[in-house]
Amino acid sequence: MYNFDQMPDRRDTNSIKWDVEKQELPMWIADMDFSVAPEIMQAMQDKIKLGAFGYENVPASYYDAIVNWQEKQHNCQVKKDWILFVNGVIPALSSAVRRVTHPGEQILTLTPVYDIFFHSIENNGRKSLEEELEYNAKTHKYSINWSSLEQKLADPLTKMMILCNPHNPIGKSWTYKEIEKIAQLCHEYHVYLFSDEIHGDLVLDNSFSSTLKLPDNLKQNLIVAFSPSKTFNLAALHSASMVVPNPELRFQIYRAINNDEIAEPNLLAIPATIAAYTQGNAWLKELKKYLLKNRQYIANFLETELNELNLASEFATYLAWIDISSLNINSQQLADFLKENTGLIISSGNVYRGNGTNFIRLNFACPKSVLIDGLERLKKGIDIEKS
Ligand SMILES: Cc1ncc(COP(=O)(O)O)c(C=O)c1O
C-alpha cells in the first residue's frame, strides 16, 4: 500500500544528509530516504490550513496517544501523568544530566555507542565512564562484562548510566533479563538509569524490551525518552517524550526541562505525533518488512561479494554495523577513502568509541536501488583500496 521504492529528492532542501556533491551518496546520518506516512502529512497539512500558530498546550489526546502506542507496540503500561513532552531525546538527556548529576561526576555508557551521548556528558562538565562491550570476533556479537559493569556502577562517583535501548550503532536489542540486571545494579548502587528508546519501534524481529516493563521498584530511578523521529522519519519535528514513573524524580525533570525551555511544542509537533501514534501502525509495519529485506540484502551481499567484511548488527535499527577489521585500516581512513574514491559517505565507527574503529555504520533506510548503489560503491572502494 505504501511505496518505499521511491524517495523524495532532498538535494537543496536544507537536508543535512543531502547537502553533498552531485556524485556523492550519503548513507550515514540516521534519517530515512522515504516519504513520511500520508496520514502524518495530512495531519500536518490540516494544521497549516488553520493559519493560526500561537503558543500551544499539550492536549490530553497527546498523552492518550502515547499510552496506547506503548501498550499496543510494546506491551508497556504507562500512566498518563508519567509523561513529559520535550523537544528531543538529546535535549532531554542533556537537561537530565544537568539536573540530577553534578560537574565532575561520572556518567556510564556501554561502548561503542551513539556519539552524541558523549557531548551530553562532556559538554556539561561530567566525566564519561565507558564500559566497553565485549566483542566476539567469531560470532560478531557483543555482550556485557557484568563484573566490570558492576565495579563501575559501584564507584560512588558514578551517578547516571545511559542505556541505548536498543543499541545504536551495534543494532542490538537488549533482552529483558539484561535490562533487569542493569536496572537492579543501578538500583543497588543508587545510579539513575536513563534509557534512550528512540529506536525501540524499529526492531525488525520485534524483540525489543522496554525498561518500562520493569517492576515498580526498579522504575524508581528510571528516566525513559523516545520519540516518533526515527520511527516515522520526523527528526526536524523536534517532538519527543520522557517517561518518569517516580513522582519526585519527575518533578525534578519537569523543572529541568522547563528551566531549559525545551518543554513547549512547535506548531506541528502535536498533530504529527498524535497522527503517527494513532494512525501510523500500518505504515510502520510495511516499513519494517522493507527494512528487513534491505538488511537481508546486505547480509547476502557481504557473504557473496565482500566476504572479508562481516555484519555485526542484529535486528535493531536501520543501521548496519559492519566489521572491517580484516582490512587492517582504521574506520576513519576507510570512510575518507570511500568518499574520495566512490562518493559513498558512511559513518566511521571510531566516533562511537569502544572498538568502533574496526567498524563502519551504513544506513540502509532507503529504496533498494539506492542500497544496491551504495553496496557496489563500497565494494569498488575496497577493491581499489586493496589494489
Ligand atoms: C540513540 C539515539 N538517541 C537520540 C538521537 C537523536 O534524538 P533527537 O533528535 O530526538 O535529539 C539519535 C539520532 O540518531 C539516536 O540514534
Residue 170 has pLDDT above 90, yes or no: yes
The length of the chain, given as a count of residues? 387
Residue 387 has pLDDT above 90, yes or no: no
Which of 92, 67, 54 is CA-nearest to residue 274? 67
Ligand 1 centre to CA of 198 (Å) is: 6
d(CA 250, CA 325): 44
**Alpha helices (runs of H) in 75-224, residue ranges in sequence order:** 89-100, 116-122, 146-154, 176-188
DSSP state string for 308-330: TSEE---SBSSEEEEE-GGG-S-
Q: Which three cell numbers stand for residue 243?
A: 517517561
**Nearest atom within ligand 1 for CA of residue 164:** 1
Residues 5-45: pLDDT tens digits? 999 999 999 999 999 999 999 999 999 999 999 999 999 99
Ligand 1 centre to CA of 292 (Å) is: 21
DSSP state of 264: S
Give the pocket of ligand 1 (CB within 6 Å): 30, 88-90, 114, 164, 168, 196, 198, 227, 229, 235, 240
Task: Report pLDDT for 83.
Answer: 98
Greatest distance between any 2 Cα atoms in the chain: 62
Residues 224-265: pLDDT tens digits? 999 999 999 999 999 999 999 999 999 999 999 999 999 999
- The residue-averaged pLDDT of 368-379 equals 98
Ligand 1 centre to CA of 88 (Å) is: 8
Ligand 1 centre to CA of 307 (Å) is: 31
Ligand 1 centre to CA of 99 (Å) is: 20
Of 120, 230, 318, best ligand 1 pocket probe by most atoms within 8 Å of the beta carbon: 230
Ligand 1 centre to CA of 31 (Å) is: 10
- In the chain, % of residues over pLDDT 90: 99
Task: Report the half-sphere exposure of 96 (CA within 13 A, side-chain side).
Answer: 33
User: Do 312 and 133 form a contact (C-beta atoms < 8 A)?
Assistant: no
pLDDT-based confidence at 372, cuts 50/70/90? very high
Q: Chain-centre distance of CA 385, in angstroms?
A: 31
User: Inter-axis angle of helices 368-386 and 331-342, to 10 degrees?
Assistant: 110
d(CA 181, CA 184): 5
Q: What are the angstrom distances between the C-alpha of 28 and each of 71, 282, 300, 318?
A: 32, 27, 21, 11
**Nearest atom within ligand 1 for CA of residue 227:** 10
The full set of domain ranges for the chain reads 25-38+281-386, 42-279
Which CATH superfamily groups domain 25-38+281-386?
Aspartate Aminotransferase, domain 1 (3.90.1150.10)
**Nearest atom within ligand 1 for CA of residue 240:** 10
Of 27, 84, 90, best ligand 1 pocket probe by most atoms within 8 Å of the beta carbon: 90
Task: Report pLDDT for 296.
Answer: 98
> Omega before 112 cis (within 30°)?
yes
Residues 70-113: pLDDT tens digits? 999 999 999 999 999 999 999 999 999 999 999 999 999 999 99
Q: What are the angstrom distances between the C-alpha of 16 and each of 88, 236, 328?
A: 17, 11, 30
Which of 263, 261, 271, 262 is CA-nearest to residue 228? 271
219-250 exposure pattern, b = at least 16 Cβ within 10 A, e = fewer = bbbbbbbbbbbbbbbbbebbbbbbbbbbeebb
- In the chain, % of residues over pLDDT 70: 100
The fold for domain 42-279 equals Aspartate Aminotransferase; domain 2 (3.40.640)
Say whether 21 sits in a helix, a strand or coil. Answer: coil
Which of 247, 202, 258, 240 is CA-nearest to residue 220? 247
Which of 48, 7, 57, 37 is CA-nearest to residue 278? 37
**Nearest atom within ligand 1 for CA of residue 93:** 11
**Nearest atom within ligand 1 for CA of residue 91:** 11
Q: What are the angstrom distances between the C-alpha of 239 and each of 226, 268, 283, 317?
A: 9, 9, 19, 19
Q: Which three cell numbers stand for residue 124?
A: 556539561
41: alpha, beta or left? (left if phi > 0; alpha if psi -120 to 50): alpha
Ligand 1 centre to CA of 383 (Å) is: 33
Average pLDDT, the chain: 98
Ligand 1 centre to CA of 199 (Å) is: 8
Task: Report pLDDT for 386.
Answer: 86
- The residue-averaged pLDDT of 115-131 equals 98
**Nearest atom within ligand 1 for CA of residue 113:** 1
Percent helix / strand / coil, the chain, rounded to 5 = 45, 15, 40
Same-fold call for 25-38+281-386 versus 42-279: no
Pairing of strands 359-363, 319-323: antiparallel
